[in-house]
């Protein structure tokens, strides 16, 4: 904190740092009026303005204000100064569920309790037209009583995000937890994609490790697309059967949340009161499709700080942050171990425009252009390389309608020849369509 005092806006006493990311820090806080413990997420406005996280910021605030459920982390209020944005959140004293799993597999009844709470929370989100799209143990927190809290809605999508085909089309999430149809980039049902992620989480809770894990991202995607996994011998038969229906590579035949809730293994020891509360609250506070929050109004006046109480969801607005600049590193969504033989960049051009431009560049550089069924463009350098043909894969990932991540990697040939082609020919030519290279220092 830059403030000399630890009192925030005469309302909260700021304490220790709980965690931090690229654009925000989270502190422990205490409400001075009530003594209630809270978590305060402090976002650096300048960084957000630079990277143009317009939709993500709107989404996180609007979704968290909309979803009120005992197993979803609550957003109490939003405040802002000229340089900072503050989310005042429910404090989850127990930390991440991931920390428990990192120590090893959980007992069956404990794993089931967390899975029950996860499913009821996700079901409630879906009833509001909200799809999380990044469910994983790191985004599941625990309160002081050990109750699960779904958090981090930065990658969530509202029902209004669907295109005319009724499907979502943004590739996002954490690779090991992502459903096959999300990877295929042909459109997907957000609810069915979340169900798959819940299945991966259930496996992790009971096994202590991931069902799909490969050092090579493409190898892992192939296993995910075919649901190639093996249950450890301590999994009960009923869990194996349930997982086979959740981790079904076809979203059309994958089990629904309603059917999961009817499953006998799932219902053991279920707190029926929580389930009833979740079901009975459906339909209240209809989703507002017109989300807009003018940040300039709250921060451009004579006052240096403004408190924005979270209004009712039907009237809720989100931040309208308008600015684009370089430095938004999305490569973490598609991390690979062999980074030396690949480069990634962000472009603001459309996918068809990118394909057309890359084909034009390839012809100019006398590279042979081919396409395969997986949507990967192949470029080949003729045999004038010292060790034969160098083959280069170019793959485009849609992050949002405005952003695409393009990955360029060697698929075959000599590494030194590939690097020469990449550094001396391809990278300079690609500059005209690059907005920001990933992992490189921006000017």
List, for residues 119-153, the tens digit of each pLDDT value.
Answer: 999 999 888 877 877 888 888 999 999 999 988 76
| pLDDT at site 161 | 45
Q: Is residue 117 part of a domain?
A: yes
Examine the domain organization and report whether 105 and 36 are in the same domain. Answer: no
Q: Is residue 324 part of a domain?
A: no
The count of domains in the chain is: 3
Q: Is residue 56 part of a domain?
A: yes
Examine the domain organization and report whether 258 and 379 are in the same domain. Answer: no
Examine the domain organization and report whether 228 and 364 are in the same domain. Answer: no
Examine the domain organization and report whether 55 and 114 are in the same domain. Answer: no
Examine the domain organization and report whether 307 and 337 are in the same domain. Answer: no
Examine the domain organization and report whether 186 and 310 are in the same domain. Answer: no
Share of the chain above pLDDT 90, in %: 25
Distance of CA 55 to the CA centre of its chain: 13
Q: Is residue 358 part of a domain?
A: yes
Examine the domain organization and report whether 310 and 378 are in the same domain. Answer: no
Examine the domain organization and report whether 176 and 220 are in the same domain. Answer: yes
Q: Which helix (H) or strand (E) holds 390?
A: strand 390-398
Q: Please list, in sequence order, all residues whose beta carbon lies within 8 angstroms of the beta carbon of residue 296, skipping any fewer than 6 positions away.
A: 320
Q: Is pLDDT of 36 > 60?
A: yes
In 3D space, the residue among 149, 129, 132 whose CA is nearest the CA of residue 140 turns out to be 149
Q: Which of 130-139, 272-281, 364-373 shows the lowest mean pLDDT across its residues?
A: 272-281
| pLDDT at site 31 | 94
Is 414 in the active site? no
Angle between helices 272-280 and 108-127 (to 10 degrees): 10
Assessment of whether the complete model's pTM goes beyond 0.75: no
Catalytic residue (one of 123, 134, 152, 329): 134
Examine the domain organization and report whether 398 and 412 are in the same domain. Answer: yes
Structure tokens at 15: 């304490």
Q: Is residue 322 part of a domain?
A: no
Q: Is residue 143 part of a domain?
A: yes
Which domain does 237 fall in, by range? 95-280
Examine the domain organization and report whether 79 and 118 are in the same domain. Answer: no
Examine the domain organization and report whether 268 and 296 are in the same domain. Answer: no
CATH number at residue 151: 1.10.510.10
Q: Is pLDDT of 259 > 90?
A: yes
CATH number at residue 34: 3.30.200.20
Using DSSP's 3-state secondary structure scheme, residue 234 falls into: coil
Examine the domain organization and report whether 263 and 381 are in the same domain. Answer: no
The answer to whether the Cα torsion of 232, 113, 199, 201 is positive or negative is negative
Q: Is pLDDT of 414 > 70?
A: yes
Q: Is residue 170 part of a domain?
A: yes
Has 41 been labeled as part of a binding site? yes
Q: Which of 32-36, 42-46, 192-196, 303-307 shows the lowest mean pLDDT across its residues?
A: 303-307
CA angle 375, 379, 385 (to 5 degrees): 155
Q: Is residue 321 part of a domain?
A: no
Question: Per residue in 42-96, pLDDT tens?
Answer: 888 777 776 666 556 666 677 677 778 999 988 888 887 888 888 898 998 888 8
Question: Per residue in 85-114, pLDDT tens?
Answer: 888 989 988 888 888 888 889 999 999 999
Question: Per residue in 204-240, pLDDT tens?
Answer: 999 999 998 877 777 888 898 899 999 999 999 999 9
């Amino acid at each position: 904190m830059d403030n000399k005092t630890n009192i925030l806006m005469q309302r909260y006493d700021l304490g220790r740092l709980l965690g931090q990311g690229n654009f925000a820090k989270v502190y422990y806080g205490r409400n001075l009026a009530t003594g209630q413990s809270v978590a305060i997420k402090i976002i650096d406005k300048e960084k957000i303005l630079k990277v143009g996280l317009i939709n993500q910021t709107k989404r996180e605030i609007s979704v968290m204000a909309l979803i009120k459920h005992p197993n979803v982390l609550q957003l109490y209020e939003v405040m802002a100064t000229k340089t900072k944005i503050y989310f005042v959140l429910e404090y989850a004293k127990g930390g991440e569920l991931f920390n428990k799993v990192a120590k090893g597999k959980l007992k069956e009844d404990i794993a089931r309790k967390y899975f029950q709470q996860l499913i009821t929370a996700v079901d409630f989100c879906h009833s509001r037209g909200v799809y999380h799209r990044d469910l994983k143990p790191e985004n599941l927190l625990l309160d002081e009583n050990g109750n699960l809290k779904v958090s981090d809605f930065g990658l969530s999508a509202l029902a209004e995000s669907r295109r005319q085909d009724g499907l979502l089309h943004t590739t996002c999430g954490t690779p090991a937890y992502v459903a096959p149809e999300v990877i295929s980039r042909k459109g997907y049902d957000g609810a069915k994609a979340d169900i798959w992620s819940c299945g991966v989480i259930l496996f992790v809770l009971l096994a202590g490790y991931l069902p799909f894990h490969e050092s090579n991202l493409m190898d892992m995607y192939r296993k995910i697309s075919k649901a190639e996994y093996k249950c450890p011998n301590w999994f009960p038969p009923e869990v194996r059967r349930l997982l086979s229906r959740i981790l079904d590579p076809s979203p059309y035949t994958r089990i629904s949340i309603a059917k999961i809730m009817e499953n006998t293994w799932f219902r053991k020891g279920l707190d029926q009161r929580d389930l009833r509360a979740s079901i009975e609250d459906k339909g209240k506070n209809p989703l507002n499709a017109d989300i807009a929050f003018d940040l300039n109004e709250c921060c451009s006046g004579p006052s240096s700080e403004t408190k924005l109480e979270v209004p009712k969801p039907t009237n809720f607005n989100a931040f309208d942050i308008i600015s684009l600049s370089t430095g938004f590193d999305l490569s973490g969504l598609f991390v690979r171990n062999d980074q030396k033989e690949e480069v990634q960049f962000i472009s603001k051009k459309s996918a068809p425009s990118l394909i057309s431009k890359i084909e034009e560049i390839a012809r100019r550089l006398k590279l042979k252009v081919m396409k395969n069924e997986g949507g990967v463009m192949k470029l080949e350098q003729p045999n004038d390389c010292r060790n034969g043909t160098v083959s280069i894969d170019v793959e485009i990932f849609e992050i949002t309608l405005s952003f695409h991540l393009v990955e360029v990697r060697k698929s075959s040939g000599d590494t030194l020849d590939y690097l020469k082609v990449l550094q001396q020919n391809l990278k300079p030519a690609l500059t005209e369509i690059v907005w920001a290279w990933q992992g490189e220092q921006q000017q």
